[in-house]
Amino acid sequence: MSDSRETTDPLLPEGRPGFLDRFRSTIAPGRIIRGSGRYEVLRLLGQGGMGKVFLAEKTGAYGFSKLMAIKVLPKNRVRYKSDRAMFLDEARLCGGLNHPNIIQVYQLGETRKEFFIIMEHVFGVTVLDLIERLQELDAQIASKYGVYIMTRILSGLHYAHMRHNRDGQHMGIIHRDICPSNVMISFRGIPKLSDFGVAKSKLNEFDDESNVVFGKYPYMAPEQVRREGTEVRSDIYSLGLVMYELFTKKLAHEVGDTKMLLADLETKKVVPPIDVNADVPEALSKIIMKAVSIDKNARFRSAKAMRLALETFLLKHFMFPEQDDFADYLCDLFPQAAKHRWW
């Protein structure tokens, strides 16, 4: 009896694959995933706590071809109910998000051993890559481009926060893992928020913020690490810390666990960006400090409110960043950008 689910086949000479090969095969470079389309896995792009991400080529009739990314939950994680539930939650949640500043998810599938998500592939770098490149060059981010990145991400974040389902129910999405490695920048100059793998929403099958801490320690909001629950302003705090790092090239909290972070929050004050980097305009430094206020009531009430504050800053300082200009800037920083910019 044939299996109608997506399956993964090894690249073999013409003819049927061997019985054992069918069951040994996993998603890896050189494999073919067959489902609603044919995807040839090309190479590993990266891996994290929830699995690996591969570059793949979708092919079709009459020479159709499109490069995609495939996120895979490996077999050693599938057997854990919480990991499986969070991976499926991410796919279901992201499949309904449609915004130019959020990575698009197209399909959820499974092989005999693994779950996978077909998603948009971005030719570009992360904000973490950008910070590390600036450190290499001993350079500072141009204010207008740093602010441009953040206004675009805030636009996508506000959309996610406000998202309603088809029945008109507010979904209550909170990202909970905003950090430099989860903010992508395409070489065309388009910032995109990625990885909703630990996002919270009313659709979640698995969620227990009172017992489990989600996210990366240096970017967690105080209420997040204290297990008091997260909300819109928790994401704003995390993005504020990303912005702080982008403009200072320093972590506001250099911590590796919850105990260190709690101690840091209680005993140390975040040094204003302008005191770390004199090139940061005072008005911009104040916006960042408002976003990273320990008291959530002192932060911006929404991603839209923070975006408007940053856009007002740009106008008052006669800064008018454009996507093409930002793409030119990326070409100056990254040698590979010019090659991939027009893909």
Residue 278 has pLDDT above 60, yes or no: yes
**What is the model's pLDDT at position 198?**
86
* Any domain includes 253: yes
228, 295: one domain? yes
- Of the residues 120, 153, 182, the one at which a domain ends: 120
- Of the residues 103, 120, 137, the one at which a domain ends: 120
Residue, of 331 and 215, whose pLDDT is higher: 331
**pLDDT-above-70 percentage for the chain:** 89
List the CATH number of the domain containing 328.
1.10.510.10
Residue 57 has pLDDT above 60, yes or no: yes
Nearest C-alpha neighbor of 67 from the set 26, 29, 126, 120: 120
- Of the residues 102, 120, 138, the one at which a domain ends: 120
Nearest-angstrom CA–CA distance, 301 and 342: 38
* Any domain includes 196: yes
**What is the model's pLDDT at position 157?**
98
**What is the model's pLDDT at position 25?**
54
**What is the model's pLDDT at position 36?**
64
Q: Read off the pLDDT of residues 98-154 as tens digits, 9 standing for 90 and up.
A: 999 999 999 998 887 788 999 999 999 999 999 999 999 999 999 999 999 999 999
269, 183: one domain? yes
Residue 209 has pLDDT above 90, yes or no: no
Contact between 194 and 182 (Cβ < 8 Å): yes
Nearest-angstrom CA–CA distance, 265 and 252: 10
58, 17: one domain? yes
213, 159: one domain? yes
pLDDT category at 342 given cuts 50, 70, 90 is confident
214, 294: one domain? yes
* Any domain includes 1: no
243, 131: one domain? yes
What pTM value is reported for the model? Answer: 0.88
**What is the model's pLDDT at position 89?**
87
* Any domain includes 2: no
298, 313: one domain? yes
Residue 15 has pLDDT above 80, yes or no: no
Q: Read off the pLDDT of residues 184-199 as tens digits, 9 standing for 90 and up.
A: 999 999 999 999 888 8
Query: What does the mean pLDDT of the chain come to?
Result: 87
- Tell me the CA distances in angstroms from 61 to 4, 42, 67, 69, one per residue in order: 21, 20, 15, 20
**What is the model's pLDDT at position 194?**
94
Largest CA distance in the chain: 69
Alpha helices in the chain (DSSP H): 19-24, 75-78, 81-95, 127-137, 143-162, 222-225, 232-248, 258-267, 273-276, 282-291, 303-316, 323-333, 337-340
pLDDT, average across residues 43-57: 86
At CA 204, angle to CA 229 and CA 35, rounded to 5?
145
Contact between 254 and 219 (Cβ < 8 Å): no
**What is the model's pLDDT at position 309?**
98
pLDDT, average across residues 14-18: 40
Domain with 190, as residue range(s), is 124-340
* Any domain includes 98: yes
Residue 245 has pLDDT above 90, yes or no: yes
Residue 251 has pLDDT above 60, yes or no: yes
